[in-house]
Chain A
Amino acid sequence: MPEWLILLISLVYLGILFAIASYGDNRADTGRSVISNPYIYTLSIAVYCTAWTYYGSVGRAAATGIGFLPIYLGPTLMAALWWLVLRKIIRIAKVQRITSIADFIASRYGKSALAGGLVTVIAMVGTVPYISLQLKAISRTFTFMYFYPALEQLQQQPPTIWHDTAFAVAIILAAFSILFGTRHIDATERHEGMVAAIAFESVVKLLAFSAAGIYITFFLFDGPFDLFGRMNGSPELGRMMTFDALPGGYVNWFTLTFLSMSAIMFLPRQFQVLVVENVNEEHVAKAAWLFPLYLFIINLFVLPIAMAGIARFGGNGVDPDIFVLMLPMADQQKFLSILVYIGGLSAATSMVIVATIALSTMICNQLVMATLLQIPYLRQRDLSGLVLAIRRGCIILLLLLGYIYYRTIGESVGLVSIGLVSFAAVAQLAPPLLFGIFWKGASRRGAIYGMTAGFLIWAYTLFIPSFAGSNGAVASLLAHGPFGFSLLRPYQFLGLDMFDPITHSVFWSMLANLGLLVTMSLMDHQSTMELIQASLFVDVYRRSGGPHIWQGKAMITELKKLLARFIGEGQTERALQDYGRSRDIELSAGMQADTDLVEFAEKILAGAIGAASARIMVSSVVKGEEISQEGLLSILDETSQVIEYSHRLEEKSRELEEATKKLQRANLRLQELDSLKDDFVSTVSHELRTPLTSIRSFSEILQDNPDLDHAERQKFLGIVVKETERLTRLINQILNLARIEAGQADWQMRDIDMVELTREALDSTSQLFSDKGITLSVELPDQPVILFADHDRLMRVYINLLSNAVKFCPAEGGKVEVILRHEPEGVRCEITDNGRGVPHGDEEIIFEKFHRASMAADGNPQSTGLGLSISRHIIEYHNGHIWIDPSMSVGARFIFFIPFGV
């Protein structure tokens, strides 16, 4: 294929990108954003899929089977946490006007320029090889297109042209990034045009790869089952159906999943599209499942293509990394080949564009400006032009570095291993960032030492060894260790030789990183600035303001001048007007700016030059002091004291409420008891008064009528004696009951024979039965029934029940039946009469004090009304119970049951 044609196609494609990007920017300028929806957001996140995915996945699948998958499973798993973690990061970034991951970490750790610089260095060292990987992919596929269809010439002719294409591509990409990434300095640092172009590229690469996959699977071969069948048939390929083909096995699998989990969020370009370019945090919800779906679809055909490539070119010396392009080419599919080439181009360019823009902002703000602003002269100049120039320079520098890396060593390393080295570098940013947004205690020194140690270990155990193919000294370092210390060999550090190189490096670097971050944070005293930033980050959902760091004042004119120097007059004017409008204040030049306005200005500036530099600049125009450590602590303390105090108040009031409720309950109970006592006293006095009245009246008769005849006198005296006896009995029983109820009764428990006891009771009441002519039938067990009980009290129960039965029997034909039964658990006694019985519903009441069934009969009490109540107490003391058989229609049957073994 002629060179001009390929160049034309490539340029037309890039031209379309330019058009889309400028359309997006224009729409943004007129306030009608094209990217403000979750679908564009999702597609922009798909910048994750670079040439590595597009070409490298197939290569990895051809070598290791499932080894390509963890790079996409990790992000899928991580996406489940986006709603918790990413949303918080976005919220913080919006409130703090964060423009890059370096800015984020610097800002969290007390706006530390050192932390920001360190992150920038890590990100840069990690990203440059990655950029070179994309350039390599572009130039290689370009070369293949160039030799197409006479591909065999490729082997003979040394392809010098490769390098020149890579260079040309680098220049074009630099132009794009500069045009759409550094158009002007914006306080939000968002690039709508770029995002629109990236989203378009994500669609192109997905369509191109899927088209190739469908063609290769269904037209070159007979569908996926055919390819899988071939795989199953060959012993060589069969290994790839399992973990056997994956070097490092399960451990490597786990490590790659972990690395890609951190990469999807903390690669500089991912942070750029996920956080900085996010328009609305609501979009995260849809993207959290749409993006994994994108990954799922783009991976569906990877394995079939790899198998097809092996089947077609196996052993032919064709690099599996470009199977996806070679297969359509070998089948003379011109159009499809071009489409695949364009898809690869889109995958590579999108990564380069976003990565260079993100990195240039970081390098400019965190490294260059932070250094330049140390020079007093520069603080007084108009720097908005300089900032843009630095960023543009950074973009060119980055692409140049990528190109040089590619020229020097890029050829000797496979696509995937370069990518993994980058992932491992970026993983060093995960601990300070994640700890930083959930743990206020994470300190600046902890973060800096942790990242430094992790980064150095990464460089020693992974980055430097990656040069082994092109450098003899590195190769000998790998084999023998530095100066022959074999204990320090980079791939077997401290003799740890059970892991593959990636896992080995990730293990040591993460151990050092996390370990230092946590232990140093626990020992540190954080500075004022750190405390403020920590609480602003961790409590971002809770706080609206936060304590003010600036106590001093500044003139508005001076603030304006400061802002204008970085973001230009027009933008400054607009920002301040917006501010005034939102607060309903007229900002005139002569006014003093209050602390709110000073903080607002600092944030605007932070959007342009990073938090650390912004702070230095603002401090140069603010007169007065920053709040002191003590001042801040007192503010924080006061707040927490107030919170603490109100907590305690709440608790107190809850306790009081509870106490009140308890008191109310107690009061109610007391009232009940009181009325019970009243009832009792009135009943008792009534009971006592009745015999007393009759005693008194008969005594008065005797006193008033001394001439009463003897018989009459005897009769009256007899009544007095009888009533006195009744009175005594009544008082005895009341005392008895009171004693039992109060638990003071003296119980004489011993083994007694219930049969014997029943006989005694019947003997002592036999007079009553014969007096009234009642037929008594008794049924007793033959054997003694031994029970541990109080003899006299049980006797009282018997006598009470028997005399009751007698009392209620009709005058003629009365019948009483006594049955004692020896049951497995205890002894049961039934006493049945044929009297008028107990009315239904009264079965419980008659056991209460002073309830008397007899009362209704003739108005003349025949008993004290305490007998049954006392009986129940006695039986219950023996753990038994006493009740009335409710099924009786004639007469009453009292039953009591006492269990053995009290």
Chain B
Amino acid sequence: MAEQRRINERLIALIGLGVVALNYPIVGLFSKKLLFCGVPLLYLYIFSLWFLFIIVLAFVIRKRRSPPSTPETGP
């Protein structure tokens, strides 16, 4: 159960980081009329972060285990 709680905590931390990284003022740092490797800096930042978020999310959630399903009162 401690392992499960750890996964939940990681997920909450992940979403917290995501919200911070994708909002003012952090995104403001990349809001520049600038091409980086041929791609607008802001887009590059948001899409890379997006992809990274998905990878980390997949990695964190890989270790889950469902709590035992409670029997319903009906069948």
Contact = CB atoms under 8 A, between A and B. Distances in A.
B72 A94 contact: yes
Interface in B1-54: 7-8, 11-12, 14-15, 18-19, 22-25, 27-28, 31-35, 38-43, 46-47, 50-51, 53-54
Q: Give the size category of B's interface with A.
A: 35 or more
A544 interface: yes
Interface string A537-548: 000111111100
B40 A241 contact: yes
B15 A77 contact: yes
A879 B16 CA distance: 57
A296 B46 contact: no
Contacts of B70: 91, 95, 540-544
A232 interface: yes
Interface in A272-299: 281-282, 285, 288-289, 292-293, 296
Interface stretch (A221-229, A328-336, A388-396, A684-692): A221-229
Contacts of B7: 83
A596 interface: yes
Interface string A70-90: 000100111111011001000
A254 B61 contact: no
From A83, A231, A543, name the one whose CB has the most chain B CB atoms within 10 angstroms. Answer: A83
Contact of B64 (A242, A285, A603): A285
A831 to B, nearest CB: 63
A241 B41 contact: yes
Contacts of A229: 35, 38
B33 A66 contact: no
A77 B19 contact: yes
A600 B74 contact: yes
A250 interface: yes
A225 B70 CA distance: 54
B35 to A, nearest CB: 5
A533 interface: no
Given A73-B22, A73-B50, A225-B39, A242 B33 contact: yes
Given A238-B33, A544-B71, A600-B73, A225 B38 contact: yes
A241 B64 contact: no
Interface string B51-66: 1011001100100101
Contacts, number: 134
A228 B72 CA distance: 56
B54 A293 contact: yes
Nearest to A287: B61
A228 B38 contact: yes
A147 interface: no
Contacts of A225: 38-39
Contact of A296 (B19, B31, B50): B50
A603 B74 contact: yes
A575 B47 CA distance: 50
B53 A253 contact: no
Contacts of B46: 66, 69, 73
From A225, A242, A285, A300, name the one whose CB has the most chain B CB atoms within 10 angstroms. Answer: A242
A257 interface: yes
A232 B35 contact: yes
Interface stretch (A494-502, A578-586, A667-675, A790-798): A578-586
A599 interface: yes
Nearest to B23: A254
A263 B71 CA distance: 31
Nearest to A543: B70
Nearest to A225: B38
Nearest to A582: B75
A303 interface: yes
A229 B41 CA distance: 12
Given A228-B40, A253-B24, A541 B67 contact: yes
Nearest to B71: A544
Contact of A224 (B12, B39, B54, B73): B39
A243 interface: yes
A250 B50 contact: no
Nearest to A597: B74
B24 A254 contact: yes
Given A73-B22, A239-B33, 8 more contacts: A80-B53, A224-B39, A241-B34, A242-B33, A253-B23, A292-B53, A543-B70, A596-B73
21 contacts: A66-B43, A80-B18, A80-B53, A81-B11, A83-B11, A229-B35, A241-B33, A241-B41, A241-B42, A241-B43, A243-B28, A250-B24, A253-B24, A254-B23, A288-B57, A289-B57, A292-B54, A293-B54, A544-B71, A599-B73, A600-B75
Interface of B: 7-8, 11-12, 14-15, 18-19, 22-25, 27-28, 31-35, 38-43, 46-47, 50-51, 53-54, 57-58, 61, 64, 66-67, 69-75
Interface of A: 66, 69, 73, 76-81, 83-84, 87, 91, 94-95, 224-225, 228-229, 231-232, 238-239, 241-244, 250-251, 253-254, 257, 281-282, 285, 288-289, 292-293, 296, 300, 303, 540-546, 578-579, 581-583, 596, 599-600, 603-604
